[in-house]
Amino acid sequence: MEISDKIIESAKEIFSTMLMMEIEVKGEIIAKNVPMEDSISGVIGLAGTRKGVLAIHLPSKVAMAITGNFLGMEVEEIDEDVEDAVGELANMLGGDVKSILSGKGRDIDLSLPSIIRGERYDFQPTGEAERFLVPFDSNVGGFYIELQLEK
């Protein structure tokens, strides 16, 4: 099973169990840059035997809906609660990626989640990296999960 398949499986499980949301892959896995518009991204760094970055890129309306599911209430603006929810989602996905890449989970460390948000931004790889974006769709809109691994 390819790493992208494992990330898809992990994302579906996290969304289903933690957010009570069903998600599906929408289209082909993308190997190039996709500009983010009116979005928020949760980013986790990977260090150790495998180095890289895992990110979840969510349009603002999707991030607010997901946060609402986390908290069980309406969310109408990007605030600290949304940033915390996106960071926690990135953290959960990062933990699963760590397990996927590392047999016992001891040879890869994760950074604390970082948040990026803005009207329009690019998420560029640093150096030589294998990268892919998995496009997902949900009942509240589409989003991406991205993994970049140093070659």
CATH of the domain at 139: 3.40.1550.10
Q: What is the per-residue pLDDT for 1?
A: 55
Encode the chain (151 residues) as per-residue pLDDT tens digits: 588 999 999 999 999 999 999 999 999 998 888 899 999 999 999 999 889 999 999 999 999 999 999 888 999 999 999 999 999 999 999 999 998 888 655 689 999 999 999 999 988 866 788 889 999 999 999 999 999 998 8
Residue type, 148: Q
What's the structural domain count of the chain? 1
**Would you call 22 exposed, middle or buried from its count of C-beta atoms within 10 A (0-12, 13-18, 19+)?**
exposed
Residues 97-134 pLDDT 10s:
998 888 655 689 999 999 999 999 988 866 788 889 99
Q: What is the per-residue pLDDT for 114?
A: 96
- Report residue 79: phi and psi, to 5°: -135, -170
Q: 145: domain range?
A: 3-150
The percentage of the chain sitting over the pLDDT mark of 70, rounded to a whole number, equals 95
- Enumerate helices (H) and strands (E) in the chain, giving the number of each: 3, 7
- Report residue 48: phi and psi, to 5°: 130, -140
User: Is residue 75 helix, strand or coil?
Assistant: coil
CA separation for the pair 143, 18 (Å, rounded)? 17
Tokens of 92: 């959960």
Note the pTM of the prediction, 2 decimals. Answer: 0.93
